[in-house]
A and B are shown apart, each in its own frame.
Chain A
Amino acid sequence: MQTPRPRYSAAALLRARFSRHFWKPLWNPAKPQDHYDVVIVGAGGHGLSTAYHLARDHGIKRIAIVEKNILGYGNVARNTTIVRSNYLLPENHYFYEDSLRRYEGLSRELNYNVMYSPRGVVDLANSDDEMVALARRGNAMRLAGIDAQLLDRPGLVRFAPELNPYLPRRYPIMGGLVQRRAGTVRHDAVAWGYARAAAALGVDIIERCEVLGLTTQAGVASGVETSLGHIRADRIVFAVAGHTGAIGTMLGIPLPVETHLLQAMVSEPIKPLVGSVLIYMYGHAEVYITQSDRGGLVMGGALDGMPSYTREPAWHRLEEIVQSAVALLPQIAGVKILRHWAGTNDQTMDGSPLIDRLKYDNVFLNGGWCYGGFKAIPASGAACATLVATGTAPDLIRNFRLSRFASGHMIDEKGAGPYPVRQ
């Protein structure tokens, strides 16, 4: 059972100053019970948010999250924290806008500071044609009630003074599309905040417990086989992100997924320079840069480029991303890289998520997050919980079903075709 936890507030902080007993663990580690209403596999952002919404919105009492490692050590800890809803396709932009709105109020909702920072995300264009494409995307967003603004070069200089768009470059910067409400959110805080809120609602968080298989009875799933023994469950949700492909193998069903690495890197801390999120895609390469509160430049780019479960980032990709960063901001050429790391991504055939039943009527998949699922955590948890609790997918995620590939309703934002490595 969970012990009561203090509510955080300015007054509580003051009280904590005089009490040695104020600070409590955010959640207490649980031991698996014999039977649950819902077992969620994976304590990343999506598993935690799904558990929280199942307990809060649907009053489901006996919920367990089982995690093979420790909570929040997967991609939720490895991403570059960017949240945005600047998508062209309606199947995507309504969903991600719902998520961004939830992020705007998440600190208050969870009573936990997730450090939402609406610093603006700008996609840069290299040519007049790309400006036209960005204008089209911005217009699609505005028609859906999402903020978007097209910037020419003088507009860019005002928005991001560190960027010199007039500098001669092999791939010149003509302008950009900015979403000002987009920005960053502290990734660990999202995992910890949801874990604290879920635990307070009675969810069992079971760490170091790997799901090894599924047991069935009369054509439906009856539980999961784990490294800590069998757990019976009425419903099972797989929210394993980069291990979605492995779950397909475990269940013996092929999925529209390949597993690819994405890496990110951070520089030594420097004085405030980059005030927004800059995204520069050119030719075959790309880079995006933000600056953390600590001063480090956080950078990422394209996928490493071959299927991998290793989480070992490729050196040649690091070099390419850093070169792109210097092309974008020549003044950072002397800055040193401190660390780089990688996460495994479940890259789908159209680059869009998969939230649906999986093989059995009482088994669900919340995955296919590719390299962009951090921003989706609040919306996916709420919508997936509705699917699991009621059996019906809410409109927001109806397009994310697995059958879309057979019926020809791919959500291919990039227009890259069924090649996960290019999505």
Chain B
Amino acid sequence: MSLFTCPFCGSRNLEEFSFHKTLPNVAGGAFEEIYLRRDAPSHSDEHWQHRYGCRAWLRVQRNPSSGEVFAVELLTGTKP
């Protein structure tokens, strides 16, 4: 897995992107949001930034056991 497809910039080298955190996907309030994670080996829902590119905040869904990228889309709604 060495390429990500930014919705604005197209296919770019992974090193241009920086991972920020996983999305909690846990019901609850601020505590769950900040501190708890569902850390499944088959699916990971993440905040990234195209830091050395257009600097857009992205939501990336991946399989952390194979490296496969399911989706890269613009982050909307939640704050990073």
A interface residues with partner B (beta carbon < 8 Å):
243-246, 248-249, 254-259, 305-310, 312, 316, 349, 405-406, 418-421
Distance between Cα atoms of A248 and B65 in the complex (Å)? 16
* Interface residue B78 (Cβ < 8 Å from any Cβ of A): no
Can you list 11 A-B contacts with CB-CB less than 8 angstroms, sorted by A residue number? A246-B41, A249-B40, A257-B37, A257-B39, A258-B21, A310-B64, A310-B66, A316-B14, A349-B34, A418-B34, A420-B21
* Interface residue B18 (Cβ < 8 Å from any Cβ of A): yes
Distance between Cα atoms of A305 and B32 in the complex (Å)? 23
- A298 to chain B minimum Cβ distance, whole angstroms, is 25
* Neighbouring B residues of A246 by C-beta, 8 Å: 39-41
Distance between Cα atoms of A258 and B62 in the complex (Å)? 14
On whether the beta carbons of A248 and B38 are closer than 8 Å, the reply is yes
On whether the beta carbons of B37 and A254 are closer than 8 Å, the reply is yes
* Interface residue B20 (Cβ < 8 Å from any Cβ of A): yes
On whether the beta carbons of A305 and B65 are closer than 8 Å, the reply is no
Give a binary string over B1-28; 1 marks a CB under 8 Å from any A CB, 0 the rest.
0000000000000110011111010100
On whether the beta carbons of A259 and B35 are closer than 8 Å, the reply is no
On whether the beta carbons of A254 and B21 are closer than 8 Å, the reply is no
- A240 to chain B minimum Cβ distance, whole angstroms, is 12
* Neighbouring A residues of B20 by C-beta, 8 Å: 419, 421
Distance between Cα atoms of A309 and B18 in the complex (Å)? 18
* Neighbouring B residues of A312 by C-beta, 8 Å: 67
Instruction: Knowing A245-B37, A258-B37, A259-B39 are in contact, say whether A307-B15 is a contact too (CB < 8 A).
Output: no
**Cβ contact of B38, chosen from A249, A305, A310, A316, cutoff 8 A:** A249
Distance between Cα atoms of A305 and B65 in the complex (Å)? 15
- B44 to chain A minimum Cβ distance, whole angstroms, is 5
On whether the beta carbons of B24 and A254 are closer than 8 Å, the reply is yes
- A319 to chain B minimum Cβ distance, whole angstroms, is 10
On whether the beta carbons of A245 and B41 are closer than 8 Å, the reply is yes
**Cβ contact of A249, chosen from B19, B21, B39, cutoff 8 A:** B39
* Neighbouring B residues of A307 by C-beta, 8 Å: 19, 22, 39, 44, 46, 62, 64
Nearest residue, chain A, Cβ from B36: A254
Distance between Cα atoms of A316 and B44 in the complex (Å)? 22
- B58 to chain A minimum Cβ distance, whole angstroms, is 12
On whether the beta carbons of A309 and B21 are closer than 8 Å, the reply is no
Nearest residue, chain A, Cβ from B22: A258
On whether the beta carbons of A421 and B21 are closer than 8 Å, the reply is yes
* Neighbouring B residues of A306 by C-beta, 8 Å: 19, 46, 62, 64
On whether the beta carbons of B19 and A421 are closer than 8 Å, the reply is yes
Known pairs A243-B41, A246-B39, A254-B32 / 6 extra A-B pairs, C-beta < 8 Å: A307-B44, A308-B67, A418-B34, A421-B19, A421-B20, A421-B21
Distance between Cα atoms of A310 and B40 in the complex (Å)? 13
Distance between Cα atoms of A307 and B34 in the complex (Å)? 17
* Neighbouring A residues of B24 by C-beta, 8 Å: 254
On whether the beta carbons of A254 and B26 are closer than 8 Å, the reply is yes
Nearest residue, chain A, Cβ from B19: A306
On whether the beta carbons of A256 and B19 are closer than 8 Å, the reply is no
Give a binary string over B40-58; 1 marks a CB under 8 Å from any A CB, 0 the rest.
1100101000000000000
On whether the beta carbons of A308 and B64 are closer than 8 Å, the reply is yes
* Neighbouring A residues of B66 by C-beta, 8 Å: 310
* Neighbouring B residues of A421 by C-beta, 8 Å: 19-21
* Neighbouring A residues of B14 by C-beta, 8 Å: 316
The 3 A-B residue pairs with the shortest CB-CB distance, nearest first, are: A245-B39, A254-B36, A306-B19
Instruction: Knowing A254-B26, A258-B22 are in contact, say whether A249-B15 is a contact too (CB < 8 A).
Output: no
On whether the beta carbons of A249 and B35 are closer than 8 Å, the reply is no
* Neighbouring B residues of A316 by C-beta, 8 Å: 14-15
Instruction: Knowing A307-B46, A316-B15 are in contact, say whether A255-B39 is a contact too (CB < 8 A).
Output: yes
* Neighbouring A residues of B64 by C-beta, 8 Å: 259, 306-310
- A260 to chain B minimum Cβ distance, whole angstroms, is 9
Distance between Cα atoms of A418 and B32 in the complex (Å)? 12
**For A244, A254, A259, A421, which residue has the most chain B Cβ atoms within 10 angstroms?**
A254
- A366 to chain B minimum Cβ distance, whole angstroms, is 17
* Neighbouring B residues of A310 by C-beta, 8 Å: 64-67
Distance between Cα atoms of A218 and B46 in the complex (Å)? 37
On whether the beta carbons of B35 and A349 are closer than 8 Å, the reply is yes
Distance between Cα atoms of A80 and B36 in the complex (Å)? 29
Nearest residue, chain A, Cβ from B13: A316
* Neighbouring A residues of B19 by C-beta, 8 Å: 305-307, 421
Distance between Cα atoms of A248 and B44 in the complex (Å)? 14
On whether the beta carbons of B65 and A309 are closer than 8 Å, the reply is yes
* Neighbouring A residues of B44 by C-beta, 8 Å: 307
